[in-house]
Amino acid sequence: MASPLSSRPEDRAQDRAGAILTIDLAALTENWRVLKRRVEPACDMGAVVKADAYGLGLEPVVKALSAAGCLAFYVAHLDEGLALRGIVGGRKDQRIIVLHGPNPGTEADFAAHRLIPVLSTPRQIKAWRAFAERGDALMESLVQVDTGMNRLGLSEREFAELMADPDGLSGLTPLALMSHLACADTPDHALNLQQRERFASMLATFHLKYADAKGSLVNSSGIFLGRGFHFDLARPGGALYGVNPTPTLANAMIPVVRLQAKILQVRRVDAAAPVGYGATVVAPDGAKLATVSVGYADGLLRSWGAAGHAFIDDFKIAAAGRISMDLTTFDVSNVPDSALGPGAMIDVIGSRQTIDDLAKQAGTISYELLAALGRRYYRRYLPAPASQNSRL
């Protein structure tokens, strides 16, 4: 904890903040290397950095991954792609892929900033092709097919029509055919093999016209299904940030985030008393309660309050009552007063409790919690090893 009299700007910022989110960039880049070792040697790998790098900060995450050798980044929206282009600059060897593709009328923005769209509908393909006919820009793209998730991508019928159309991708440069696995985090689910076989068949058909196009099927969890799923391009996201890609097994990833929140007030109730909105919890006579500076505006789901807990040193403390917008109360009756003094903090995510543990308590998934992390935290970035010299 920084001294209140500290003059360093970063220390003063920590003093002002109600909670601190620490992002370990060395752990992030080690997770990149762990995943690289998992994929087929001939399989390239990019990083999914949509939603502000899953809430952890686009610029520092991209710079760390770039230094580790990542040459392809996936975002969801055009605005995210434009922000990323501002970070990586004009590097010709680094690709930015926009998963949702171009909205009507935005094709020129993609071309001007060398953003590569994923084309998922016949309309997008026709619009991208029409734009290509008006200029000499290199019209690279990925084509997405639906193999069983029924979310984004050409249906089997639409794909067959595209392949039968002599003008289907005329004037375009299809870098890859891609799809997305619906149940990769459930290894035994029958849909995994069904999707793989459908994708392999469609890719073989695609290669009849576009022999150089790559195949891309796997996300983080898909990498762990085995090399038969890897094809040519892997697209991990959550695993890079420490989320367990194999929920039924031990996590092969290193934790990347730590979330600490400051205790604002400690009180002891003299008689049984309700706690928080709705008086859903009654603290027993003599209970010691700590109210902490973190709430649902910071990404702690209200559903977490019913079963959530955190830590002060080695002491496990339970949430008491409903989570408020900015505050959460904990029962700290088991914690000595010496650990609750001015500047004391609790660990919501840390060495004793991972993001996956927190998600399980809240009845959700780690991806949702990461993406929900608010911007009010003071963000402290632990640097990647000095030997990794960023090219950005």
At 26-80, the pLDDT tens digits run: 999 999 999 999 998 999 999 999 999 999 999 999 999 999 999 999 999 999 9
Residue 23: CB atoms within 10 Å: 24
In-domain check, residue 50: yes
In-domain check, residue 320: yes
Does the pLDDT of residue 17 top 90, yes or no? Answer: no
Distance CA 98, CA 141 (A): 9
Do 344 and 222 fall into the same domain? no
Identified catalytic residue from 54, 126, 210, 277: 277
Distance CA 347, CA 367 (A): 19
Q: What is the pLDDT of residues 94-148, one digit of tens each?
A: 999 999 999 999 999 999 999 999 999 999 999 999 999 887 566 899 999 999 9
Q: What is the pLDDT of residues 247-273, one digit of tens each?
A: 999 999 999 999 999 999 999 998 999
In-domain check, residue 23: no
Do 264 and 378 fall into the same domain? yes
Structure tokens at 390: 């960023």
Distance CA 143, CA 71 (A): 19
Do 156 and 261 fall into the same domain? no
Confidence at 90, pLDDT banded by 50, 70, 90? confident
Do 221 and 267 fall into the same domain? no
Q: What is the CATH number of the domain that holds 284?
A: 2.40.37.10
Of 192, 211, 241, which residue sits at a domain end?
241
In-domain check, residue 248: no
Distance CA 173, CA 329 (A): 56
Do 278 and 175 fall into the same domain? no
Give the domain extent around 266.
257-382
Do 145 and 294 fall into the same domain? no
Do 225 and 354 fall into the same domain? no
Do 284 and 149 fall into the same domain? no
Distance CA 388, CA 28 (A): 13
Give me the half-sphere count of Cα atoms (radius 13 Å) on the Cβ side of residue 84.
32
Helix axes 156-164, 190-209, angle to 10 degrees: 10
- What's the total number of domains in the chain? 2
Confidence at 386, pLDDT banded by 50, 70, 90? low
Q: Which residues contact residue 119 at a Cβ distance below 8 angstroms, ignoring those fewer than 6 apart?
A: 101, 125, 128, 141, 142, 143, 144
Structure tokens at 319: 């949430």
Q: What is the pLDDT of residue 392?
A: 47
Of 211, 241, 271, which residue sits at a domain end?
241
Q: What is the pLDDT of residue 390?
A: 44
Find out whether 371 and 54 touch, Cβ atoms under 8 Å. Answer: yes
Distance CA 177, CA 175 (A): 7
Give me the half-sphere count of Cα atoms (radius 13 Å) on the Cβ side of residue 117.
30
Q: What is the pLDDT of residue 49?
A: 98
Do 163 and 299 fall into the same domain? no
Q: What is the pLDDT of residue 199?
A: 98
Do 170 and 283 fall into the same domain? no
In-domain check, residue 10: no
Do 287 and 223 fall into the same domain? no
In-domain check, residue 391: no
Do 320 and 378 fall into the same domain? yes
More confident residue, 384 or 326: 326
Q: What is the pLDDT of residue 161?
A: 97
At residue 130, φ and ψ (nearest 5 deg) are: -65, -40
Q: What is the pLDDT of residue 136?
A: 59
Q: What is the pLDDT of residues 287-340, one digit of tens each?
A: 999 999 999 999 999 898 878 999 999 999 999 999 999 999 999 999 999 999
Does the pLDDT of residue 2 top 70, yes or no? Answer: no
Structure tokens at 221: 């969890």
Q: What is the pLDDT of residues 153-194, one digit of tens each?
A: 999 999 999 999 998 998 899 999 999 999 999 999 999 999
Find out whether 236 and 45 touch, Cβ atoms under 8 Å. Answer: yes
Q: What is the pLDDT of residues 352-368, one digit of tens each?
A: 999 999 999 999 999 99
Q: Tell me the longest C-alpha to C-alpha distance in the chain.
A: 81
Does the pLDDT of residue 381 top 70, yes or no? Answer: yes
At residue 273, φ and ψ (nearest 5 deg) are: -150, 145
Structure tokens at 311: 């830590």
262 tagged catalytic: no
Does the pLDDT of residue 375 top 90, yes or no? Answer: no
Confidence at 343, pLDDT banded by 50, 70, 90? confident
377 tagged catalytic: no
Q: What is the pLDDT of residue 391?
A: 44
Residue 18: CB atoms within 10 Å: 17
Identified catalytic residue from 50, 63, 262, 288: 50
Distance CA 374, CA 126 (A): 39
Of 190, 208, 241, which residue sits at a domain end?
241
In-domain check, residue 250: no
> Helical H runs in 148-279?
156-164, 190-209, 220-223
Q: What is the CATH number of the domain that holds 101?
A: 3.20.20.10
Q: What is the pLDDT of residue 387?
A: 53
In-domain check, residue 195: yes
